[in-house]
Structure 1
Amino acid sequence: MSPGPASRHDRPIFVLGCPRSGTTLLRLMLHSHARIAIPAETKFVLPAYTERCEFGDLRVRENRRALAEWITSDRSTKVHALGMDAADLVDEIAAGPPSLGSAVGIVFRAYARLHGKQRWGDKRPSYSQHVGALLRMFPDAQFVHLVRDGRDCVASLMEMPWFDGDVHHAISAWRETIDRGRRLAERLGPDTYYELQYERLVADPADELTRLCGFLGEDFDPAMTRPEGLAKQIVPSRKKWHGRTHDAVTTSRVGSWAERLDPWEISLAEAAFGERLAEYGYEPSGLPKPPASQLARFTRTAAHRRMAQHKAALRERWKQHHEPNPVESLLAAEHPSPAT
């Protein structure tokens, strides 16, 4: 018999948004809550889901152990950096329920337990593209979408050492994320999907986080408004692009796109974003429209990205027909500790 649905207070929390929209700050705020644990970005959830057919039937204990050993030992997953005992985690997954969602949930549940927390979540900007996969594993999940002025996201993305696209790809990334958010809001409803804006969050953290806690079914924890103390402990200084999380929450970067982007980049972004900026209350620059040649190049980039996403969707449908067993998590909310 399948376990009953998780109570509201045990639902997994997934934080998403366009890259450079402030999701790391929000993750630190949520992790500062007395009941919620959200680790630094791991990179095993989506690869495990994509390669789920390769792990075989997870009803076979040896296959669960092989999956667990990949999760804990492959350096690409970054699970080794979470401070958990790898051997114990492998044993817990191997002894756990036979589904991919269960294995993934056990990792995050163990991380929450390590920090004395009752509820877990995860954060990765690209989750906006993979909500369907996350819902297949965790049908009771809640999604928090952080929205930031697209021009600030584009300006910041262009400065990142790990971003290998050009301004057209950066503009496309924000527009795609906003459009996915619109569809998710309609599809999932207000009990499962929540949107907040970066500018309001940094201007009045207590008010915005109180509202967010209401959505999550949690009491507001004042520690959430002071994430810089936690950041100094757990955000590596080598990640210079997260350096501002070590300081008190500030509005100093709001609207900095005006100095960080060239005029032609601003006008191209505003043309590509259309009415989306205004819908969130972001003021236009007043610059003239970009030349038709620039818009045409952006249109080509956007079309190529849509084609790649369409091909990925086709591959996903094929894999769903070849899954060796269901992927939904079978972890019972009423049993937060591993079975003995």
Structure 2
Amino acid sequence: MNWFDSVGALRAWAAAARPVFICGQERSGTSALQLAMSQHPALFAVPHVYETFIFSEPHNLRASSPRHMLQDYLRGPDNLLRLQERFAELGAQAGGDAGTLDDDDLIRAFFAFAADGVYPGQRPLEKTPAHVRCLPRVFRIFPQARVLACVREPTEVVDSYRRRLQREQALGKPREAWKWLDQTDDQLIYYMRQVDRALTEITTLVPGQVFQVPYGWLNADPLTAMTAICEFIGEPFDPAVMAPKAAWRDRIDERLGRPIGTASAPRPSTLSEETIAMLRKETWGLTRRWRVPGPLRPDPAAVG
């Protein structure tokens, strides 16, 4: 039975699927990791570092002008139109129309369509850092999913935001392109605590199905890290994940054209000593937890 034969078939497909999702703290290597994983022959060969926001904004799939990255992930607006036609077919089979499908079924259909016609024969792969806040929904829809959660030393996160903001502004880009980077220290601390809370809470729901990927660990020993990550998702290590994507040079960030693990972590240069001391004080718990790589499981010491 094909996934588009009925809503029941679609849900059965999702229950059996083994997608790989990359999320976590922004500016912590999610793009570099997605580019590396997209070169593994078992996973979607996603051609760009698209962020779909599919788990947080599934309604965009119904829009006449959805996020361009959502369309590009499906390799063009024509495929999106075909997917929307599938919505109508599934809705009719359920006794209604395209609007009959709930948001979870829209998400299921998005990935099923991509697996069937856009990246045939490969496991779903998707990267949106903000999906770390949607992990309960991710595992409700895809109970066999594997999630790679990228994290980074908090002072480096803040410094990375500042560096990227300066670079975008120096290029003369409009505010719309860089306003997401223009955050205060307090805002960034709040976001990092949200990420930490989301990762802590998901360990009790699906212990062992989220792999924490510290930025420093990935860059210090990329071969060991990528081997462990491949083992975690249940695929053999393939040297392709270590290769650079030369065509990416000068796009978004020239470092994305280098092999995985070659992005250095310079000492924060946009932050004052006072700011660094404040960040370390406010985020010491995150720093301690985010240094440890591997599958996340509940802390026995926290039980009872």
Task: Settle same-fold status: TM greater than 0.5.
Answer: yes
| Percent of aligned positions that are identical | 22
> How many pairs align?
253
CA contact (8 A) 1:96 1:102 kept: no
Distance 1:177 1:257, change over 3 A: farther
Which of 87, 102, 108 does residue 81 from structure 2 map onto? Answer: 87
Partner SS, residue 218 of structure 1: coil
Does the 8 A contact of 2:136 with 2:202 survive in 1?
Answer: no
Q: Which has the larger radius of gyration?
A: 1
Partner residue of 2:41? 34
1:95 is displaced (CA, Å) by 2.7
Larger RCO: Structure 1 or Structure 2 (Cα < 8 Å, ≥ 6 residues apart)? 1
User: Is contact 1:32-1:230 (8 Å) kept?
Assistant: no
Structure 1: gaps (5+ residues)? 52-66, 283-340
Aligned residue number for residue 45 of structure 1: 55
> What secondary structure is seen at the aligned counterpart in 2 of 1:259?
coil
Q: Distance in 2 between matches of 1:252 and 1:119?
A: 27
d(CA) in 2 for partners of 1:214 and 1:155?
Answer: 32
1:34-183 alignment runs, 5 A limit = 34-37=41-44, 39=46, 40-48=50-58, 68-70=61-63, 73-76=64-67, 78-82=69-73, 83-84=75-76, 85=78, 86-96=80-90, 98-112=101-115, 113-159=117-163, 160=165, 161=178, 162-183=180-201
Contact 1:44 1:77 in 2 (8 A): no
Correspondence for 1:213: 230
Does residue 258 (structure 1) correspond to residue 268 (structure 2)? The answer is yes
Q: What is aligned with 1:197?
A: 214
- Cα RMSD for the two superposed structures: 2.7
Structure 1 length-normalised TM = 0.65
**Matched letter for residue 26 of structure 1:** L
1:281/1:12 Cα in 2 relative to 1: closer, same or farther (>3 Å)?
A: closer
Instruction: Report the Cα distance in structure 2 between the residues aligned to 1:92 and 1:204, rounded to whole angstroms.
Output: 44
Whether the 8 Å contact between 1:22 and 1:146 is mirrored in structure 2 is yes
Counterpart Cα distance in 1 of 2:291 and 2:131: 25
Q: Secondary structure at the match of 2:211?
A: strand
